[in-house]
Structures are given as C-alpha cells and as structure tokens.
Amino acid sequence: MQNPRLTVIGTGYLGATHAVCMAALGFEVLGVEIDERKVASLTSGEVPFFEPGLPELLVKALESGRLRFTTSYEEAAEFGDVHFVCVGTPQQAGSDAADMTYVDAAFSTLAKHLTRKTLVVGKSTVPVGTAARLTALVKELAPAGDEVELAWNPEFLREGFAVDDTMHPDRLVFGVQSEWAEQQLRAAFAPVIGGGTPVKVTDLQTAELVKVAANSFLATKISYINAMAEVCEATGADVHDLAEALAYDDRIGGKFLKPGLGFGGGCLPKDIRAFTHRAGELGVGQAVAFLREVDGINRRRRARTVDLVRELAGGDLNGVRVAALGASFKPNSDDIRDAPALDVATTLQKAGAVVHVFDPAAMDNARKAYPQLSYGESAIDVARDADVVVLLTEWAEFRELDPAAMGEIVNQKRIVDGRHALDPVSWRAAGWEYRALGRP
Ligand code: NAD
C-alpha cells in the first residue's frame, strides 16, 4: 500500500509531536491548528513548548518538505487520507466532566469538507462512547457520508519523553469498525510496527477505555504510596524505605511508586475526574468510586507540603521568605496545567509567605498564569536570604544542588523536599533541617 497522507488536527503537546514524528518517519504530514500563532511558530521551525529532541526533529522535517502547517480544514480534507484528531479535552469549568467542545468542533468542521473515502482517527482522551457518537455525527455531516470511517487510537506519550514514546511506544491500540480501517492504521504506523511495537486491535469503546484505565491505574499507584506516606507520618515510619522495599517485589514494581507531592498536569487529574463522571452517567459510578479517594489523597499531599513549610518556619508563614524550586508539573516539561508546584506556591503566598519561584523551563508559562508570584533567574537566585527552601519539581539541576553552597546564601538552612529528590544524609550533614513527606 502507498504511504497514506496524514493530517494532524490540533498541534499542542500531543499533536505537534505526532506531526513531527510522523514526518520524520517518512510520511507527508499536514498539521492543522486554529491558533495562528502556533501555525506561524511551527512553520518557522520553533516548537512553542519545551520538549527535548522535538525542535531538532521539527527543523529536519520542515527541511525535508514533508511537513507543513495550516489553519485551513478545506486544505486538510483535500490533502489527507488519514486524519488524526489531537485537540484538547480539558476539565469543564465547574464540573468533573471533560469539555468536549474542541473535539466536537474539530470532527464536525473536518467532516463538512470530506468528499471521499477517508479515515478520521481520534487520539484525544475522551469519555467512553464519544467515538460512537462522533461516528454518527461525521457520517451525517460529510458529503462522502458512509464512506468516511472513524477509528480511535489513544495516545500514551509522556511529556519529556514524547519523541521516543511516539517512535517506540509500548503498544499501539487501534479501535476500529472495519478491516479497512485497521489496514489504514497499520499503514500509517508501519515504521513503528516494523520496529517491534505490539498492536492491540479492538472496538472503539475498548480503545477509549484503555487510555482512561491506564491513567487511572497510574494515578492510583501514586496515591497508594502517598496514602502510605500519611500512615508513615502518623507512626514515625519512613515511606521512602517502605517504597523501596515494596519495589523489590516485581509484581508491584518501583515505577510510579515514588512518594511525594503527587501528580498533576494536563492528563491524570482531569482524566480520573472525567472517568468518574462518565462512569456515573453510565450507572457504574460505584465501580470507580475509589478514584475520588485517589484524587483526594493527591490533593492532601499539596496541603501537607504547605504544612511542612509552615512547621519548619516555626508555625507562622507571615513574612516568611520561601524559595520555591520548580513550577512545571514534572521535570523536562514546561507544562503548568494543574501543577502541584504552583498550587503549593500560591497557597504559601496566600498564607502570607513571600514566595520566589524558579523553574528551568516553565518560567514564561508560570509568569503568564501566576503574575502575582515573584520569579528569579536561578535556584541560587531565589534561595538567596530564604527562610525555607521547598523543592516542588524534581528537575535534575535541583537534585544536583550543593547543600554547602546553598547553605552560604540562605537566611535559614531549612528545606522541604517535596519530591524525595535529595539525599537527606548529605543535606543534614551540611547543617540543614531537612523534611520530606512521609519521612521522620
Ligand atoms: P494542548 O492544549 O496542548 O493542544 C491542543 C491543541 O488543539 C491546541 O494547540 C489548540 O489550539 C488546538 N485546537 C483546539 N481546537 C481546535 C480545532 N477545532 N481545530 C484545530 N486545532 C484545535 O493539549 P494536549 O496536551 O496536546 O492534549 C491533547 C489531547 O491529547 C487531550 O485529550 C489529552 O488528554 C491527550 N493526551 C495528551 C498527552 C500529553 O502528554 N499532553 C498525552 C496523551 C494524551
């Protein structure tokens, strides 16, 4: 089969990565985006967010002539054999449900221009049942009618490892309604499949569910160890040692079993909430009721981190100078959506602390979203004269901080390690009062 021509609709964290990687794998790709600034930026070779390895690949893909970007759905419909929809599905304001406005708009706008046999593939994370609903909508709106097919191919990439996760994913999941759709997807992913990636072919609703089930499992694992941290705090036990001891059991495994400030970002929190909401609509809310507790444990870690800073400061945060290390929801990303770091920083500020934030990549995003916080140029810069240092995102450069050098510039040698990223022995040896969640 000839290589299908691909479009990628919505070029944010997921879509831009998908478009660039598919072009790098040899496909002709057209990125479609409503935000003209993103089209201009990507067209000029600038990735509008932080993702290691992506800028170099974007430049190469543009030079190869295989990758272009547009705002025109008409052009997209004409160009593409397979369309990947990668628009956002954020949490609705005032509800746990997913906001489907962008997905609905993307599918219906595209459908109106589809005049020949094509496959439209959803990659966004959606409530189960969405693909069936959109199938009816697309067939009704498309001039090509029943010739247009819909499939779901959920995405599992991790920000910070997005290129490698796209080129060499753990698995590909194809939710399809026909043999033809499966063949189209196999052709669109031929180089990835050729690299040894297993493919799970299934129906639409299972494909949709795989994604939310996976994220629910990962969130549960994190909250599980953080629940153990709460118990440790009440007993004087050490959750760090507990987690390491559990991880030796390969039925349990050490990944996502790291205690600390918990999860955030544009996926896990909103995905488990949307799943809980959708399960309720389907009359099986009880089956995933535990996810509310998973969310609750996760939120409590943020509050407990603020408490630790308050305790170290002597019980009152008023006027206390806090150096906040980290703003992004995780290292190697500039994504600040539902970032635990910024949640903690703003709560500390509301309690009267004077908070100075530094992050290696997310400063622009943080400044825009939280102009009320003050920002510094480096970890050293924000730590100068601090009464308490709090590590909120485990960037490598924070792990490598020298406790002796840091000790020279702070006002008080007190540190809260919100990510279990530092070695307590060496920090204490350098005279620091060291506190971490779930550790004595
Ligand atoms: P994002 O907000 O970074 O990107 C979405 C993009 O879609 C934006 O650039 C936006 O301008 C564009 N857009 C919105 N409406 C559009 C329309 N009608 N036509 C064309 N473009 C439109 O979001 P993201 O993080 O890339 O996530 C996208 C989806 O992928 C979500 O459902 C998310 O849950 C899922 N997902 C994300 C990741 C991740 O690591 N970010 C991983 C797996 C799955």
Q: Is 243 in the pocket of ligand 1 (CB under 6 A)?
A: no
Q: Is residue 208 part of a domain?
A: no
Domain match, 360 and 419 both: yes
Q: Are 372 and 349 in contact (CB under 8 A)?
A: yes
**Please, which pLDDT band fits residue 317 given cuts at 50, 70 and 90?**
very high
Q: Is residue 359 part of a domain?
A: yes
Q: Is residue 198 part of a domain?
A: yes
Computed over every residue of the chain, the mean pLDDT equals 98
- For the segment 222-231, what is each residue's pLDDT rounded down to a tens digit? 999 999 999 9
Q: What is the 348 CA–ligand 1 centroid distance (Å)?
A: 31
Q: Is residue 209 part of a domain?
A: no
Number of domains in the chain: 2
Known binding site for substrate: residues?
156-159, 211, 256-260, 264, 330
| High-pLDDT (> 70) share of the chain, % | 100
* Strand ordering across the sheet containing 414-417: 374-375, 354-358, 321-325, 388-391, 414-417, 433-436
Q: What is the 186 CA–ligand 1 centroid distance (Å)?
A: 23
d(CA 214, CA 217): 5
**Enclosing H/E stretch for 216:** helix 204-235
Closest C-alpha residue for ligand 1 atom 39: 14
Residue 195 DSSP SS3: coil
Q: Which ligand 1 atom sits closest to the C-alpha of 270?
A: 34
Q: What is the 266 CA–ligand 1 centroid distance (Å)?
A: 9
- For the segment 367-426, what is each residue's pLDDT rounded down to a tens digit? 999 999 999 999 999 999 999 999 999 999 999 999 999 999 999 999 999 999 999 999
d(CA 37, CA 79): 22
Q: Is 266 in the pocket of ligand 1 (CB under 6 A)?
A: yes
Q: Is residue 421 part of a domain?
A: yes
Predicted local distance difference test score (pLDDT) of residue 416: 98
Residue 86 appears among annotated catalytic residues: no
Q: Is the dihedral of CA 371, 375, 377, 378 positive or negative?
A: negative
Q: Are 152 and 131 in contact (CB under 8 A)?
A: yes
CATH of the domain at 339: 3.40.50.720
For residue 149, the cross-strand partners are 119
116 pLDDT exceeds 90?
yes
- For the segment 197-208, what is each residue's pLDDT rounded down to a tens digit? 999 999 999 999
Among 169, 202, 235, residue at a domain's last position: 202
Predicted local distance difference test score (pLDDT) of residue 2: 83
Domain match, 313 and 259 both: yes
Matching residue, tokens 């929801």: 329
d(CA 50, CA 159): 9
Domain match, 157 and 181 both: yes
- Give the residue, out of 11, 14, 273, with the most ligand 1 atoms within 8 A of its beta carbon, to mutate for a pocket test: 14
Q: Is residue 153 part of a domain?
A: yes
Q: Is residue 78 part of a domain?
A: yes
Q: What is the 36 CA–ligand 1 centroid distance (Å)?
A: 15
Torsion angle of C-alpha atoms 311, 313, 314, 318, degrees rounded to 10: -110
- Cα angle vertex 430, ends 424, 433, to 5°? 55
Q: Is 175 in the pocket of ligand 1 (CB under 6 A)?
A: no
349 pLDDT exceeds 80?
yes
Residue range 122-135: average pLDDT? 98
Domain match, 197 and 225 both: no
d(CA 76, CA 131): 21
176: tokens are 């399809």
Domain match, 276 and 362 both: yes
Pairing relationship of beta strands 6-9 and 82-85 according to DSSP bridges: parallel
Among 160, 178, 202, residue at a domain's last position: 202
Residue 321 DSSP SS3: strand
Domain match, 195 and 227 both: no
Q: What is the 87 CA–ligand 1 centroid distance (Å)?
A: 4
Among 146, 171, 202, residue at a domain's last position: 202
Domain match, 42 and 165 both: yes
Domain match, 189 and 315 both: no
Domain match, 36 and 90 both: yes
Domain match, 424 and 333 both: yes
Domain match, 198 and 258 both: no
Predicted local distance difference test score (pLDDT) of residue 147: 97
Q: Is 154 in the pocket of ligand 1 (CB under 6 A)?
A: no
Confidence (pTM) = 0.96
268 pLDDT exceeds 90?
yes
Structural domain span for residue 121: 6-202
**Enclosing H/E stretch for 416:** strand 414-417
Residue range 210-218: average pLDDT? 98
Closest C-alpha residue for ligand 1 atom 4: 12
d(CA 66, CA 23): 6
The per-type count for the chain, helices as H runs and strands as E runs, is 19, 14
Residue range 151-155: average pLDDT? 98
This model of the complex carries an ipTM of 0.99
H helices of 289-378, where?
A: 290-312, 340-350, 363-369
Domain match, 243 and 191 both: no
Q: Which ligand 1 atom sits closest to the C-alpha of 159?
A: 40
Q: Is 34 in the pocket of ligand 1 (CB under 6 A)?
A: yes
1 pLDDT exceeds 80?
no
Residue range 235-263: average pLDDT? 97
Q: Is residue 44 part of a domain?
A: yes
